[in-house]
């Protein structure tokens, strides 16, 4: 019986193991953590967003520069496939008002438990063997080669061990949330074997603002959300972005879903120019002309703060942001104040550290893999999940692409094994 090693117990690795096990292959899955799926479970704390229900063309567009590569993978496992897969594990799903797809109970743990039960006890075959607290440390040796690509070394609580298989699927994640297992330690090991790897960068991340917030603003409003706002930007490369939503002020800057959606554009502009600026619309549902009219409305003896609250419902963190970034002279000029309410420039100077990011960009270039996600420099070794060079916003896209790449790598390994048998 052929044997495959899967390194990494996240969604991509588990999906590859599922494909291989279902085909009757002996699968040994290794993970550095005490249990698998830790980041998967973390993602489910706020309701597990499995995928998105939007049309396939729009869905594929979320992957930016890597659209073509991810779109090819989605042909084998897209949003509807994710829902069918969950149903096959006894978990119904529903489409939320935003178009996002969730398990009916909004929980990750029952889905993961059902999946692991199927992996350990398939209808036929030996089932996946899990080797926990096994941290991959690079390549092992065998009698024929000092650096056999399918011979791996691991550190364990009992000391170093080595393992060999007929094929290997690497699904080690990117560089975010190192405490859950994905720390990017694999990068130099692959580079040393001639595999081209783009630098890992934070995405779906927060940012620090230029000069930092004042102590007053940071102490009173860090952690509070900006609701019903919009942000707009045009990058130095001419790419435009506009979206309504919410985000949060932090002690040093901004983060949250609306910022995450633009994070790749903001990050890349900071890399190119040292900073990036977006315009914050505090009242996206109100035309600029009306905002100006309301600001100009006579306020009598009322303070400006009371006037803005009564006429435009601007108070709390929105009012504080105006006072933070708009001078007294501008605040007292109706035209300039109205313009700031509709397009308040916020300049960012740094992405937050990679370990704080929800996900990472960069990784193994698709150009050094074949159509089966096998590394051209390392025959018999396949890559899947976030360790590949792609990125996507939150909204179910990350998980779906991890599932799809895991399935593709598993199927690629099966084809490799079949080819090896034919040539034996």
Q: Which pair of structure tokens corresponds to residue 83?
A: 């829902």
Whether residue 212 sits in one domain with residue 156:
no
Asked whether residue 24 falls in the same domain as residue 81, the answer is: yes
* pLDDT exceeds 60 at position 95: yes
**Residue at 260 is within a domain:** yes
pLDDT of residue 336: 97
3-state secondary structure of 131: strand
Would 17 be classed as within a structural domain? yes
424 pLDDT higher than 80: no
What's residue 43's pLDDT? 80
Domain containing 318 equals 207-351
101 and 74 belong to one structural domain: yes
d(CA 136, CA 113): 25
The pLDDT assigned to 338 comes to: 97
pLDDT at 423 over 60: no
- Residue range 19-56, pLDDT digits in tens: 999 999 999 999 999 999 998 998 878 789 999 999 99
Residue 111 above 50 pLDDT? Answer: yes
Per-residue pLDDT, averaged over 360-371, amounts to 97
- Position 3 pLDDT exceeds 80: yes
pLDDT at 156 > cutoff 80: yes
pLDDT of the residue at 148: 67
Residues 175 and 138 in one domain: yes
pLDDT of 304 higher than 90:
yes
Query: What is the mean predicted confidence (pLDDT) over 271-276?
Result: 97
pLDDT cut 70: percent of the chain above it:
97
DSSP3 helix / strand / coil % (the chain, rounded to 5): 40, 25, 35
Q: Is residue 51 part of a domain?
A: yes
pLDDT of the residue at 123: 83
Q: Produce one character per residue of 110-140: b if its CB has 16 or more CB atoms within 10 Å, e if not.
A: bbbeebbebbeebeebebbebbeebbbbebb
Distances (CA, A) of 61 to 54, 74, 213, 384: 11, 12, 35, 20
Q: Is residue 356 part of a domain?
A: no
Residue 192 is predicted with a pLDDT of 93
Residue 342 clears pLDDT 90, i.e. is over it: yes
Kindly state whether residues 215 and 294 are assigned to the same domain. yes
- Give 227-263 pLDDT, tens digit per residue: 999 999 999 999 999 999 999 999 999 999 999 999 9
pLDDT band at 150 (very low <50, low <70, confident <90, very high): confident
Residue partners of 369: CB distance under 8 A and separation at least 6? 375, 376, 382, 383, 388
CA dihedral of 6, 31, 182, 402, whole degrees rounded to 10: 40
Whole-number pLDDT of residue 421? 60
State pTM to two decimals.
Answer: 0.92
Same domain, 277 and 326: yes
Given this model, what pLDDT does residue 142 score? 57
Number of separate domains in the chain: 2
Q: Is the pLDDT of residue 202 over 60?
A: yes
Q: Is the confidence at residue 147, as pLDDT, over 90?
A: no
Residue 8 lies in a domain: yes
Given this model, what pLDDT does residue 50 score? 96
pLDDT of residue 182: 86
Res. 382: pLDDT tops 70: yes
Whole-number pLDDT of residue 143 = 40
Kindly report the CATH number assigned to the domain that includes residue 87: 3.50.50.60
pLDDT of residue 144: 47
- Domain match, 270 and 376 both: no
Percent of the chain exceeding pLDDT 90 equals 89
User: Are residues 51 and 193 both part of a single domain?
Assistant: yes
Two tokens, residue 282: 């505090």
Domain match, 374 and 316 both = no
Task: Pick the range with the lowest mean pLDDT from 176-185, 218-227, 307-316, 336-345.
Answer: 176-185
* Mean pLDDT computed over 94-119: 95
Residue 348, pLDDT > 50, answer yes
- Kindly report the average pLDDT of the chain as a whole number: 94
Residue range 286-300: average pLDDT? Answer: 95
Q: Which pLDDT score is estimated for 178?
A: 82
The pLDDT of 360-365, averaged and rounded, is: 97
């Amino acid at each position: 019986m052929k044997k495959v090693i899967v390194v990494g117990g996240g969604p991509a690795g588990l999906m590859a193991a599922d494909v291989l096990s279902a085909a009757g292959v002996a699968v040994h899955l290794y993970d550095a953590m005490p249990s698998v799926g830790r980041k998967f479970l973390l993602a489910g704390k706020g309701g597990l967003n499995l995928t998105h229900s939007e049309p396939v063309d729009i869905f594929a567009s979320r992957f930016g520069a890597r659209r073509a590569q991810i779109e090819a993978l989605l042909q084998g496992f897209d949003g509807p496939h994710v829902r069918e897969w969950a149903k096959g594990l006894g978990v119904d799903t529903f489409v939320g008002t935003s178009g996002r797809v969730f398990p009916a109970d909004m929980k990750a743990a029952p889905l993961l438990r059902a999946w692991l039960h199927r992996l350990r006890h398939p209808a036929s075959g030996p089932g996946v063997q899990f080797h926990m607290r096994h941290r991959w440390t690079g390549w092992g040796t065998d009698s024929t080669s000092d650096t056999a690509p399918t011979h791996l070394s691991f550190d364990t609580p009992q000391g170093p061990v080595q393992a060999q298989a007929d094929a290997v699927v690497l699904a080690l994640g990117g560089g975010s949330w190192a405490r859950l297992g994905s720390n990017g330690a694999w990068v130099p090991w692959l580079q040393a074997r001639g595999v081209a790897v783009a630098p890992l960068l934070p995405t779906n991340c927060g940012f620090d603002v230029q000069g930092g917030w004042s102590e007053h603003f940071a102490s009173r409003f860090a952690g509070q959300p900006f609701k019903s706002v919009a942000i707009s930007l045009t990058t130095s490369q001419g790419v435009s972005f506009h979206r309504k939503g919410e985000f949060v002020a932090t002690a040093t800057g901004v983060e949250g879903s609306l910022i995450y959606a633009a994070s790749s554009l903001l990050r890349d502009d900071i890399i190119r120019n040292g900073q990036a600026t977006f315009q914050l619309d505090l009242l996206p549902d109100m035309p600029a002309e009306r905002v100006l009219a309301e600001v100009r409305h006579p306020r009598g003896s009322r303070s400006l703060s009371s006037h803005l609250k009564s006429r435009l419902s601007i108070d709390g963190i929105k009012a504080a942001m105006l006072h933070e970034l708009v001078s007294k002279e501008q605040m007292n000029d109706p035209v300039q104040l109205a313009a700031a309410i509709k397009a308040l420039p916020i300049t960012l100077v740094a992405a937050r550290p990679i370990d704080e990011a929800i996900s990472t960009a960069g990784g193994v270039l698709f150009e050094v893999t074949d159509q089966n996600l096998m590394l051209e420099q390392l025959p018999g070794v396949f890559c899947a999940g976030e360790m590949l060079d792609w990125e996507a916003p939150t909204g179910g896209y990350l998980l779906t692409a991890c599932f799809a790449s895991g399935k593709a790598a598993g199927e690629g390994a099966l084809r490799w094994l079949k080819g090896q048998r034919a040539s034996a």
